[in-house]
Amino acid sequence: MPDPVALKRSLSLPVTSFYGIGTIIGAGIYVLIGKVGAVAGLFLPYAFLLAGIIAALTALSYAELSSRFPHSAGSAAYIQNAWQRRWLAQLVGFLVAVTGIVSAATIANGFVGYLALFIQIPDYLAITLLVALLTLIALWGINESALTVTVVTLIEVGGLLFVIYVCRQAPVANAWNQIFAFPDTGAWAGVLVGSFLAFYAFIGFEDMVNLAEEVRNPRRTLPRAIMIAIGVSTLLYMVVAALAVRTLPVPELAQSAAPLATMVTNAGHSTNFIGIISMFAVVNGALVQIIMASRLLYGMAKRNLAPQIFAGISARTQTPVVSTVLVGGIILVFALWLPLTVLAKITAFIMLVIFSLVNLSLFAIKVRGGETEAGVIRYPIAFPALAFLLCVALIGFQLIA
């Protein structure tokens, strides 16, 4: 039988919003901006904008679904409620868990590039120590974990503001009229491929819904927190992406293992400050993924979609111990096994498939109609339909490309 101890419902709107901002911002802008620039070129801001639009439409679906079904199982619960197909809900749930694991492994790889600015130790040792520490924090308790995420999120947002401030007067590599010129037919291929990779930078909002049983008044709080997180993150991404291609030649940006540090160096400032902040940002994203994947397995076990061992809760810390330890161990294996870009592409592809199914599930629920509970937030049916088509189109283009 599952442990009778329940998760602790204590997270407010500000804390939940910072949790989302922290996981969205982390690896996307601090690690992947150079990789996206390698394929999108001068049109790097357009790649982030397109990815942000697709993510925002899908985020609206998650916002409504989290209000309708405030359960820790997240996407798996939504699929089950839409079609009552146990096998499909299980498949989606485990795919989401896999993306959280692969995403955290991606972030752990990115951590190594910034750590090398200060100390030279073997990559495998740095990754192992990082994953072990974050797993222990996730086991500590949701209040402690969320407080850690909130504090680090404030630090990483401060880091981005610092980059924006020092780079606004840096030597110019490319003019604004080149960066914001409308891409021609040939350039759109790079923008679309870049947006596929940049999409990885926006998927943190999906992590937020797995906190539904630890958020106060989730029907109201979660939708608002999701949209706040997407809005703030997209704004910061656009500004930093534009400054990146304005101040650095694209080849230099693409080759950098620590792109924001390279931008700051080019502006004539020391990398120490941004290097430390970047490590915080990368660590933050990995911690959130560990929390997300462990809560997802817990929520699925409660709904009999996963082995009951994952439903166990520690009476002392009120955290799912078995699922957290398992997630941490698998993250370590992936982080030591696969390179950064491969991990990011795997994550983005799987999440696009999941987002397509989630958007379609909301569309089906809306078409079916029926009564909804008081306080549920609802958006026009056109939103999930358009989000589904955009996700499928992006998957199709990537497969062809």
* Assigned token pair, 236: 């910061």
Beta carbons within 8 Å of 11's beta carbon, 6+ residues apart: 19, 142, 146, 211, 214, 215, 216, 221
pTM attached to this predicted model: 0.79
Which pLDDT does position 361 carry in this prediction?
A: 95
Of 30, 43, 47, 26, which Cα lies nearest the Cα of 245?
43
CA distances, 155 to each of 12, 18, 183, 245 (Å): 20, 11, 35, 24
Residue of 268, 260, 234 whose CA lies nearest to 48: 234
Comparing CA positions, the residue from 323, 319, 328, 324 lying closest to residue 141 is 319
Residue 32 placed within a domain: yes
* Domain CATH code at residue 217: 1.20.1740.10
**Residue 7 placed within a domain:** no
Give the separation between CA 109 and CA 257, rounded to whole angstroms: 10
DSSP state of 377: -
Q: Please report whether residue 387 resides in a domain.
A: yes
What domain range includes position 104? 13-400
List per-block mean pLDDT (blocks of 10 residues) for the chain, which spans 401 residues.
Answer: 64 87 71 85 91 90 91 84 89 86 78 79 89 88 76 83 88 86 84 83 80 86 92 89 92 85 87 79 77 86 88 85 91 79 74 92 89 80 94 82 64
pLDDT of residue 2: 46
Q: Nearest CA to 202 among 34, 37, 11, 355?
A: 355
pLDDT for the residue numbered 204: 75
Question: Please, what is the angle between helix 86-115 and helix 340-368, to 10°?
Answer: 150
Any domain includes 5: no
| pLDDT for the residue 365 | 92
What are the helix (H) ranges across 69-122? 75-83, 86-115
In a domain, 6, yes or no: no
When the pLDDT of each residue in the chain is averaged and rounded to a whole number, the result is 84
Buried b (16+ CB within 10 A) or exposed e, 21-47: bbbbbbbbbbbbbbbbbbbbbbbbbbb
Q: Is the dihedral of CA 386, 76, 208, 284 positive or negative?
A: negative
Look at the chain and report how many structural domains it folds into: 1
Backbone angles phi, psi at 120, to 5 degrees: -105, 105
Hunting for tokens 């996407």 — which residue is that? 75
Residue 26 lies in a domain: yes
Residue 4 resides in a domain: no
Please give the span between the terminal C-alpha atoms of the chain, in angstroms, as a whole number: 49
Q: What is the pLDDT of residue 358?
A: 94
Q: Would you say residue 214 lies in a domain?
A: yes
